[in-house]
Every structure is written in C-alpha cells, then in structure tokens.
C-alpha cells in the first residue's frame, strides 16, 4: 500500500515536471510573453521580474530558477495585479472555488446516482424515460448557458436567489447547480447502464434465490457493485467541475480561482496563467490518486499494488 502510493506520487512528480516545462516554454513562445524582449511592463514590475526570474540570465538558467521556485511553492509575482504574488492570488481565491466545487460534486454524485438507480429499476418505463431525457438534456445544455438561464430566471426575474458574489450558502446554490448539471447527467447515465448490467448478473439471481426482498437485493447487492464505474468517473468529474468553474465563477462574479484564471487570460497575465495551471495540475493529479485509492478500498478485487485480481 505504502509502496504503491510512493510509486504513484513519484509518477505525479514526473508528470508535473513535464507540465511545468511545457507551460514554461509555451508562455515563452507567447506573443508579448513575460520572457520576451518586446514586453511593455511598468518599470517597478520589471524590477520585480528581474529579481524573481533573473531575466538577464540565459533561458536555461531562467527555466532552472522557475523549477526551483515551484519546488519552493513560489509562483512569482503577478504582472497586472500590482504588489500581488501568484501565491497571494491563490491563497485569497481558492477557498471559494473549493466550497463551490465540493457543493457541485456532492450534488452531481447524489442526484446522479439516485437518478441512475431510479432509471434502472424502472427500466423501459416512465421513470426511466423521464430520467434519461433529463440526462440527455443535461449533457446537451452547456453549463454557461444553464448558468445564464438560471441567473436570469431565478435571480433577475423571480428574485429567489442573489444574482452574484459569494457571501452565503444562498449565493452558492445557482452556480453549484449550473456547474453540477452536466456531470450529474453523465453520472446518471453511467449509473443506469452499470445498474442494469448488475441487475442482470447471476449474483443478483443468487441473492433473490436466497429469499432476500427485492429492496435488500437492490441495496445490498446491486448498488454497491453498480457504483464502481461511478467511482472511477470521480477523476474526470473533478476535471469537469474545475474547468466548468472558469466560466461559472465569471458569470456569477465569484472571486474564486477559476475567475482569476479567466481574468489572467483576458489580461495576458502570464505568471498567473502559469501559476494557476501548475496549481490546477497538482490538484487534479492528487485527486486522481485519491480516487484510485478509494476505488481500491471499495473493490476488494483490486489489490492496491495496481494489478487486478483474477477476475
């Protein structure tokens, strides 16, 4: 177990190294990038930059310094936000994104699994059709359109929810719903397919043949097994929530990291773009590791050495 995690963490660091390298050289190539000579930045920041990156140094030295700084968890100063470092921006904004993200993940998982099970149990009946029509709509309506519609209807017109900002739980409901809907729909479809397969399996017949009630059979034997594919979707789910937050946070003016990232793109604030990209990558790689560990705990067939059991 310990050895497995160590190995995975090692792999994460290799991936991170690639990501940092690629982002560094991509930004290098960017028009008006931070490391090109044609930049026009205020002299004060110029000074900071020179200090932070040693911009007079050859490229390879700059690259080495950037790597060292990343290891020290120092993403450097922001270009456009005076006196702010990228670390400041992350520290200030990430908590909002985290709260919103967790709410959306919770919503997507609970409602998605529920709908999927419902659809499978009422296979080819009204409940199934209703849930699946909802799911295909959920997949087809982009989150930002849903966000706009929700904001217009429930905040502008009906006044049931605050329009923007992120000060209370009420503020978080509309953005969380907008963010969660597409992954929720995916989970519902995944859960339905997996549940249908499980319900047709022999061990469900065994459970029924024991005389267990259909409720016990479904809960104890069905859902526990059918949920495994949903657990492996948790990685993509985190990615979807994270990238979705870029736009949702912007629409609802939430001062989260996604919004900062979008701002930095609009302003071409390259150090912030780089810093947040690296930060997002670290976040995702570790979430995927955690998901894999959870999967190993749920499915006894997976030995946490990374190899599957005999089935």
Partner 1 sequence: MKKVLEVNNLSVSFQTYGGEVQAVRDVNFELHEGETLAIVGESGSGKSVTVQSIMRLLSMPPAKFKSGSILMNDEDIVTMSEAQMEKVRGQEMGMIFQDPMTSLNPTMKIGRQITEGLIKHQGMSKKDALERGIELLRLVGIPNPESRIHQYPHEFSGGMRQRAMIAIALSCNPKILIADEPTTALDVTIQAQILELLRDLQQDMKTAIILITHDLGVVANAADRVAVMYGGKIVETGTVDEIFYAPKHPYTWGLLGSMPKLNDTKKELQSIPGTPPDLKDPPKGCPFAARCPYAMKVCDTYMPEYQHSSDTQKTACWLLDERAPKVNPPENIFVGGVKEHE
Partner 2 sequence: MSHSQIKETDFEPIHYEQSDAERIAGESTSFWKDAWRRFKQNKLAIIGIIVILLLTIMSLTGTMISGQNYSDNDLLNANQSPSLEHWFGTDHLGRDLFARTWYGARISLFIGLMAAFLDLIIGVIWGTIAGYLGGRVDEYMMRIADILSGVPYLLVVILLMVIMPAGLWTLIIAMTITGWIGMARIVRGEVLKLKAEEFVMASRSLGASTTRIISKHLIPNALGAILVTLTLTIPTAIFTEAFLSFLGLGVPAPKASWGTMTSDALSSLRYYPYQLFFPAFFICLTMLAFNVVGDGMRDALDPKDRR
Q: Where does this chain bind partner 2 (CB under 8 A)?
A: 15, 18-19, 23, 26-27, 29-31, 33, 123-124, 136-137, 139-142, 144-145, 148-149, 151-152, 156, 196, 239, 242-243, 246-247, 251, 262, 265-266, 268, 273, 277, 280-281, 284-285
Query: Which positions from 82 through 141 interact with partner 1, judged by CB under 8 A?
Result: none
33 binds, among partner 1, partner 2, none (CB under 5 to 8 A by kind): partner 2
Smallest CA-to-CA distance from 144 within 259, 251, 264 is with 251
Q: Does 306 bind partner 1 (CB under 8 A)?
A: no
By beta-carbon proximity to partner 2, the closer residue of 12 and 99 is 12
Neighbours of 109 (CB within 10 A): 21
Are the C-beta atoms of residues 23 and 274 closer than 8 Å to each other? yes
Of 35-43, 72-80, 188-196, 222-230, the segment contacting partner 1 by CB under 8 A is: 222-230
In the shown chain, the binding pattern of residues 280 to 299 toward partner 1, with x for contact by CB under 8 A and - for none, equals ------------------xx
Q: Tell me whether residue 37 is exposed, middle or buried, using C-beta atoms within 10 angstroms of its C-beta: 0 to 12, 13 to 18, 19 or more.
A: exposed
Whole-number minimum distance, CB 47 to partner 2, in Å? 25
Q: Is residue 311 a contact residue for partner 1 (CB under 8 A)?
A: yes
**Dihedral (CA of 152, 264, 234, 97) sign:** negative
Q: Using CB under 8 A, which residues numbered 178 to 217 contact partner 1?
A: 201-203, 205-214
Least spacing, CB of residue 296 vs partner 1, in Å: 12
Q: Say what the alpha-carbon torsion angle 287, 290, 294, 297 is, to the nearest 10 degrees.
A: 170
Output 132 or 216, the one with its CB closest to partner 2.
Answer: 132
Q: How far apart are CA 226 and CA 42, in angstroms?
A: 58
Least distance to partner 1 from the beta carbon of 220, Å? 8
Between helix 234-251 and helix 257-266 the angle, nearest 10°, is: 60
Smaller CB separation from partner 1, 38 or 310: 310
Separation of alpha carbons 44 and 214, rounded Å: 72
Helices of type H across 123-168: 126-140, 143-150
Task: State in angstroms the smallest separation of the CB of 307 from partner 1.
Answer: 12
Task: Name the strand (E) or helix (H) holding 248.
Answer: helix 234-251
Distance CA 204, CA 212 (A): 10
The footprint of partner 1 (CB under 8 A) covers 201-203, 205-214, 220-221, 224-225, 228, 298-301, 309-311
């Amino acid at each position: 177990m310990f050895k497995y995690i160590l190995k995975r963490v090692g792999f994460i660091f290799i991936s991170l190294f690639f990501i940092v390298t690629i982002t560094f050289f991509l930004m290098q190539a960017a028009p008006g990038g931070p490391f090109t000579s044609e930049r026009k930045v205020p002299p004060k920041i110029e000074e900071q930059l020179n200090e932070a990156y040693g911009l007079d140094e050859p490229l390879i030295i700059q690259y080495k310094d950037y790597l060292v700084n990343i290891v020290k968890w120092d993403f450097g100063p922001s270009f456009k936000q005076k006196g702010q470092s990228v670390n400041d921006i992350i520290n200030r904004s990430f908590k909002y994104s985290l709260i919103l993200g967790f709410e959306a993940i919770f919503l997507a998982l609970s409602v998605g699994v529920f709908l999927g099970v419902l659809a499978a149990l009422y296979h080819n009946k009204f409940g199934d059709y209703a849930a699946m029509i909802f799911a295909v709509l959920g997949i087809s309506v982009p989150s930002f359109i849903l966000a706009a519609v929700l904001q217009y209807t429930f905040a502008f017109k009906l006044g049931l929810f605050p329009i923007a900002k992120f000060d209370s739980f009420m503020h978080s409901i509309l953005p969380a719903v907008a963010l969660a809907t597409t992954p929720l729909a995916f989970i519902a479809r995944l859960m339905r397919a997996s549940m249908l397969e499980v319900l047709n399996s022999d061990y469900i017949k065994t459970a029924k043949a024991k005389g267990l009630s259909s409720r016990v059979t479904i809960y104890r034997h069905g859902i526990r097994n059918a949920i495994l594919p949903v657990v492996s979707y948790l990685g993509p789910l985190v990615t979807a929530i994270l990238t979705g937050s870029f736009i949702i946070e912007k629409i609802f003016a939430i001062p989260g990291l996604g919004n900062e990232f979008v701002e930095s793109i609009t302003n071409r604030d390259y150090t912030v773009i780089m810093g947040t990209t690296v930060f997002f990558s670290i976040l995702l790689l570790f979430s995927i590791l955690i998901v894999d560990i959870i999967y190993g705990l749920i499915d006894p067939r997976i030995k946490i050495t990374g190899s599957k059991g005999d089935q």
